Amino acid sequence: MRVLVLAIVLVLSSRAGAAMLKAGDRFPAWQLVDQSGATVSSKDLAGRRYLLWFYPRAMTPGCTAEGQGLRDAYASFQAKGVAVYGVSFDPPADNARFVAAEAFPFKLLSDAQRTLAVQVGAADSADAAVARRISYLVGPDGVVLAAYDGVQPAVHAKQVLGDL
């Protein structure tokens, strides 16, 4: 019994990451590298709305489906003035292959240190193997407009566009 209690305590205490942000929360400042090695930051996007979609791993079925949906709806996002960025723990080279394979018109960012993911609830710790499938729609003032937990890859793009 003591072993079971200790195991539960250890599991719960290992969830050191922040909870997901909510609409109205300020999104933290961030700076990440895209698939070509260029730096992209929240400062670069100041004054614009953007969607950050966290995905577990490049070239996997769910991530591919979600990316394809966002790709196929990209013109609608642009028409609504929303930039789209994917975020994973994958290295830039893996993200570059993913972009090329799926003809994504948006950048994929590498959060290899898990810094942003931990801050926004996409990972519990810097030791997380993959990011949680969550997204944030961020306003031009850096405030979260909508937070998406438990994202369903095949319908996520339509869901976000519906909220816009």
Which of 45, 51, 58, 63 is the catalytic position?
A: 63
63 in catalytic set: yes
pLDDT score at 150? 86
What is the domain extent for residue 45? Answer: 2-163
pLDDT tens digits for range 117-140: 999 999 999 999 999 999 999 999
As a whole number, mean pLDDT of residues 24-37 equals 97
Angle between helices 156-163 and 61-72 (to 10 degrees): 40
Tally of domains within the chain: 1
Give the pTM: 0.87
61-65: average pLDDT: 95
CATH code, domain carrying 123: 3.40.30.10
**Token pair belonging to 105:** 């018109």
